[in-house]
Structure 1
Amino acid sequence: MSTNLEVGIVGLPNVGKSTLFNAITKAGAEAANYPFCTIEPNVGVVDVPDDRIYKLADMFKSKKVIPAAMRFVDIAGLVAGASKGEGLGNKFLSHIRQVDAIAQVVRCFDDPNITHVSGSIDPIRDIEIINTELCLADLDSVEKRKQRIEKIAKSGDKEARIELPILEKVIEGLGDAIPVRAQGLDDEELEILKELTLLTAKKSLYVANISEDEISDYSGNEHVKRVQEYAANEGSGVVVVSARIESEIAELSDEEATAFLEELGVTESGLDKLIKASYALLGLINFFTAGEMEARAWTIVDGTKAPQAAGKIHSDIEKGFIRAEIVAYDDLVTCGSQNAAKEKGLVRLEGKEYVMKDGDVTYFRFNV
């Protein structure tokens, strides 16, 4: 299975979160491709849009194609008071700790038939309700940690003395409802906090849910503008979607969906935009393996070295790594075949220090 990436979808009631999540679930990847994936009711697995894998499958006449995949987790029960166990608060917090990134759905459309939990449309207020709950949950974790570290620091422990002022700084920020990711902490400070798995340290993006009428042009939507400004201030991304249109697309075949999007005057679905934005947010790239049996895309963090990339396929390949035989996707396609690429000297042998690049078509040599 080439997914270990999870994005948690959060949002207040009646903002379109369930509509969007149901669309993701309907558009779900074929479960047969993911033998180790028990898909729970609140998890949707979708293929990552990447045409390169299909071109490689044609070239190698592969019997099976396995695209990279992303898991979306529907995190229910987030209401004001969730950090104190209101709604499904405690369950929600344990789910959110496990995801790699958070996508927060915010309502940016007016519809008198769909009441808002707070009685009016205000996406910034909604964002702040959720961020406050996450900050309160983190505050509880950091304060407990501080009590323990204070005792250790008193005994003269060097590491505890380094950690204590960082915890104090984070507590102050969380007390002002500033998420950890927006507190300007450096890499060393974030590394010290890592084992706390703080919710507000996770990378986030906002999903601005608009009405279907605005899908081809939402430039006049003031709610979206406010969300974009808010996100820019904390270094988060924004994806604009219409959850209702996504639920319609999910019912269509690929050909019908393409025609429907063309009719609407948009080039890609909101789900594809959300996946691409999540990739960018988490600094992810794909490499490929291809042969007669299967063509497969594998997801890694940009900067991963060849042996660790090999470990994505199997731990034995990482352990016994000798070298990687690599050709860039563009070079391979231009040459038309692996043999032609070899003749032109474009297939390289790379060692343990090689940093993988997006689109590397790879064969790992190993010995166990």
Structure 2
Amino acid sequence: MKLGLIGKPGAGKKTLFEALTKSDPDSGHKGDLRIAAIYVPDPRVDVLSAMYSPRKTIYAQIEYCLGRTAGDKDLQLKAVADCDALIQVVRNFPVPGMPDPSPYKDIAAMDEDLMLSDFVVIEKRLERIAADAKRGKKADAQEMALLDQVKQMIENGTPVRTQPEIATAPLLRGFSLLSAKPVLVLINNDEDDTALPAGPPPGGIDLMVVRGKLEHEISRMSDDEAAEFLKEFGIDEPAIHRALRRSYAMLGLISFFTVGEDEVRAWTIKKGALAPEAAGTIHSDMQKGFIRAEVVAYDALMAAGSYAEARKQGTVRLEGKTYEMADGDIVNIRFNV
């Protein structure tokens, strides 16, 4: 999963990128593309690792991409074209020499930029189809219908993501439409401000408040220092962890686990994926030769205390090719190739 950070200059994209990824400041390459992969915190992995004492413990990963933080806006958007979703950072704190923050207006302005970028892509494709038609090449009727729908939505000021069946249409996948991507908005507040901006928030937008400078400070601390700091200020967890979970939910992702003495590992799949697809996430041979999946729910394993006890209690079950995976499933794939 790859998430791209976007936003106006001065919004705090760089600060939040470094807080999310715990990467070092990179002032020497201002404006360059930055990509960092991080492990997704999951207390279930910690518990399973303590239970099995494996040689390796592997968390699910998420990749963050930060485009240009200065200069050409189009280059910033182009840098995130291949991302699965976008995180828009919106300034809600005063900066000397800059206008007063207007977070909700900034959200709307970014949507306009995303739609304008998509409009250019759609227009170029329609022009090419028209040119091909003059040479006798017949257009794909389904593609044309989708392109016309997208163009009409944009002309009406409606982001493509508001129509999921269009946004996820396979025929449109190659266009990397920006307004079709899910968006999580991070309202970047001052250190002592935890409230949403005044006024009604825009509809259809998933947003949450973060305090970028504070999160950046926490990300520089050791685990023990961070825990003490959070306790002192009555903070349950860093907002960055919540942003990770919201990103997962926004993309419709869930986690399942494989466990053993060699390795405890979290795997990421789309909600609704069937058991063979989950097997393919581990290895393509497992999907090709899938026979059965031995499954126990995480909560059932915790209640039993051990895999052997869960089996005695009958909560370990065999599932076939039509089984829809659930978040927290612990699986052992039976296959033959």
Equivalences for residues 121-132 of structure 1 within 5 A? 121-132=101-112
In structure 1, what is the equivalent of residue 83 of structure 2?
99
Q: CA deviation at 1:283?
A: 0.8
Whichever residue aligns with residue 266 of structure 1, its letter is: I
CA distance in 2: counterparts of 1:185 and 1:261, whole angstroms: 38
Q: Does 1:136 align with 2:136?
A: no
In structure 1, what is the equivalent of residue 29 of structure 2?
none
From 129, 154, 160, the equivalent of 1:149 is 129
**Partners of 1:12 and 1:78 within 8 A in 2:** no
Alignment gaps of 5+ in structure 1 = 29-39, 80-86
SS at match of 1:163: helix
Q: Does 1:58 align with 2:27?
A: no
SS at match of 2:217: helix
TM-score where L is the length of structure 2: 0.89
In structure 2, what is the equivalent of residue 178 of structure 1?
158
From 308, 318, 323, the equivalent of 2:287 is 318
SS at match of 2:278: helix
CA distance in 2: counterparts of 1:291 and 1:67, whole angstroms: 14
Q: CA deviation at 1:59?
A: 1.3
**Partners of 1:306 and 1:324 within 8 A in 2:** yes
Whichever residue aligns with residue 86 of structure 2, its letter is: I
Q: Does 1:9 align with 2:1?
A: no
Q: Does 1:346 align with 2:331?
A: no
SS at match of 1:209: strand
Whichever residue aligns with residue 68 of structure 1, its letter is: A
* Cα pair distance change 1:137/1:290, threshold 3 Å: same
In structure 2, what is the equivalent of residue 110 of structure 1?
94
**Partners of 2:146 and 2:166 within 8 A in 1:** no
**Partners of 2:275 and 2:321 within 8 A in 1:** yes
CA distance in 1: counterparts of 2:6 and 2:167, whole angstroms: 29
Whichever residue aligns with residue 292 of structure 2, its letter is: R
Q: Does 1:201 align with 2:180?
A: yes
TM-score where L is the length of structure 1: 0.82
Q: CA deviation at 1:211?
A: 0.6
Whichever residue aligns with residue 281 of structure 1, its letter is: M
Whichever residue aligns with residue 154 of structure 2, its letter is: L
**Partners of 2:167 and 2:180 within 8 A in 1:** no
Whichever residue aligns with residue 329 of structure 1, its letter is: Y
* Cα pair distance change 1:189/1:282, threshold 3 Å: closer
Whichever residue aligns with residue 182 of structure 2, its letter is: K
**Partners of 1:150 and 1:160 within 8 A in 2:** no
Whichever residue aligns with residue 220 of structure 2, its letter is: E
CA distance in 2: counterparts of 1:310 and 1:185, whole angstroms: 27
From 315, 318, 333, the equivalent of 2:302 is 333
From 47, 56, 72, the equivalent of 2:64 is 72
Q: Does 1:211 align with 2:180?
A: no
Percent of matched pairs sharing the same residue? 40
Q: CA deviation at 1:195?
A: 2.8
CA distance in 2: counterparts of 1:44 and 1:162, whole angstroms: 38
SS at match of 1:356: coil
Q: CA deviation at 1:153?
A: 6.9
From 34, 37, 42, the equivalent of 1:42 is 34
In structure 1, what is the equivalent of residue 17 of structure 2?
21
Whichever residue aligns with residue 354 of structure 1, its letter is: Y
Q: CA deviation at 1:88?
A: 6.3
Q: Give the length in aligned residue pairs.
A: 329
CA distance in 2: counterparts of 1:306 and 1:238, whole angstroms: 33
* Cα pair distance change 1:61/1:126, threshold 3 Å: same
CA distance in 1: counterparts of 2:111 and 2:166, whole angstroms: 22
Structure 1 range deviating more: 167-176 or 200-209 = 167-176
CA distance in 2: counterparts of 1:358 and 1:165, whole angstroms: 36
* Cα pair distance change 1:299/1:186, threshold 3 Å: closer
**Partners of 2:34 and 2:67 within 8 A in 1:** yes
Q: CA deviation at 1:165?
A: 4.1
Structure 1 range deviating more: 318-327 or 201-210 = 318-327
Q: Does 1:274 align with 2:243?
A: yes
In structure 1, what is the equivalent of residue 27 of structure 2?
none
* Cα pair distance change 1:96/1:290, threshold 3 Å: same
In structure 2, what is the equivalent of residue 252 of structure 1?
221
* Cα pair distance change 1:236/1:324, threshold 3 Å: same
CA distance in 1: counterparts of 2:215 and 2:167, whole angstroms: 40
Whichever residue aligns with residue 79 of structure 2, its letter is: H
**Partners of 1:287 and 1:357 within 8 A in 2:** yes
* Cα pair distance change 1:135/1:347, threshold 3 Å: same
CA distance in 1: counterparts of 2:302 and 2:83, whole angstroms: 35
